[in-house]
Amino acid sequence: MKPRILQIVVISVALLGPSAARAQKAEDYLFNDSHFHLTNYIQEGINIHDFLKIMGNKAGRVALFGIPLQQQWSYRVDENRGPTYYLNSDAPLYYYSFTDAWIAMAYKSLSKEEQARFDPMITGFNPTDMYAADHIKRVLTTFPGVFTGIGEFSIHKEFVSAKIAGEVASLQDQALDRLIDFATEAGLVVLIHNDVDVPFAKPGAEPAYATQMKALLRRHPNTTFIWAHIGVGRIIRPVKDQAAIVQEIINDPQLRNVHFDISWDEVAKYIVANPESTKIAATLVNRYPDRFLFGTDEVAPSSQEKYLKVYNQYEPFWKLLTPEASAKVRKQNYERIFDEARRKVRNWEAANVTPRASSMTN
């Protein structure tokens, strides 16, 4: 290759960024992962370099976050049996803000090429606190060039919400609106977990949080939302009108900014429970392929086999998708949403972060 042509190629790749440089290899990956926890409820997990090996050529890019809650080890409650999961103990959970610094430093330990495969997310804030927005801003100014979104964070979550010390989070809280307003200003993707209903709801009753959730989404028409698990939980089964709720959101011209992830083995369990449920889900996704993303919701997996568990669990579902829908759900929607967020957040940082503010981490 002539020197002049080589120079043009190098400059073009630099301007287009990591996505363009990786475009030729995109078909090698099975999926991009919109939902992955590097650490667990006691802030332990897998080394990010080891996770890269687990990703291998199966996962292209990953939305990377810890867990914003720490399970307290209360000797009074559990004696010497240290709990590692929120269902292991009656002791409370509390918000753990250091998770954002931990994720940022793990990301910064990677090479530039390796970093291009991750989109770190800010999670270590209390959504009942009016200062939560300030925490998010502080993280961006401390670690410029790192984060792409906020979440996964939870408002109403079965068995979790009641365990969190302090005020109960609410979809109607101005603190939540304030933090989402700032996320929108900075261009951050908002990945929110909110169950569509309460556990053990009465049959036939209107889902407890469907109306409030739709109201929240409508209050923020310029925010890029991903509704985690489509509002489904471990025992929050898809309600009778679940598909109708999703379709109502999709058909609302004011909510074109709302997307859904189909992460978590519990969600996969419901979707592939029987041929009818799989067909209903696939029909919806085939009709609106731009609105869904695949995520694993794995927490610090110890092997590639465990990491691919949810993807493989969805095999009956993948088979019913059109080639176009499958490609969008598994890869293209992630790239479109997170590439745009990267661009917006970097522009916000360029306009708002001073060299002095970020010098401590460089």
Residue 268 CB neighbours (<10 A): 24
What residue ranges of the chain have pLDDT lower than 70?
1-27, 235-241, 356-362
Q: Total domain count for the chain?
A: 1
Task: Note the pLDDT of residue 283.
Answer: 95
First to last CA, the chain: 37
CA distance 246 to 262: 12
Does 256 map to a domain?
yes
Q: The domain containing residue 250 runs over which residues?
A: 29-361
Rounded to 10 deg, the angle between the 132-142 and 98-108 helix axes is 20
Does 21 map to a domain?
no
Helix (H) or strand (E) holding 260: strand 258-261
Does 8 map to a domain?
no
Structure tokens at 304: 């590639």
CA distance 23 to 352: 31
CATH number at residue 342: 3.20.20.140
Task: Note the pLDDT of residue 10.
Answer: 34
CA-to-CA dists, residue 288 to 119, 218, 234, 282, 340, angstroms: 25, 20, 25, 10, 20
CA distance 261 to 291: 9
Give residue-wise pLDDT tens across range 93-114.
999 999 999 999 999 999 999 9
168 and 129 Cβ atoms separated by less than 8 Å = no
Task: Note the pLDDT of residue 354.
Answer: 81
Does 16 map to a domain?
no
CA distance 80 to 86: 16
88 and 179 Cβ atoms separated by less than 8 Å = no
Task: Note the pLDDT of residue 268.
Answer: 94
Task: Note the pLDDT of residue 23.
Answer: 42
Task: Note the pLDDT of residue 223.
Answer: 98
Query: At 103, phi and psi to the nearest 5?
Result: -65, -45
Task: Note the pLDDT of residue 5.
Answer: 39
Does 10 map to a domain?
no
Task: Note the pLDDT of residue 60.
Answer: 98
CA distance 279 to 128: 39
Q: Which residues pair with 189 in a beta bridge?
A: 149
Does 309 map to a domain?
yes
Q: Which residues pair with 342 in a beta bridge?
A: none
CA-to-CA dists, residue 179 to 57, 184, 310, angstroms: 36, 9, 31
Does 15 map to a domain?
no
271 and 262 Cβ atoms separated by less than 8 Å = yes
Does 167 map to a domain?
yes
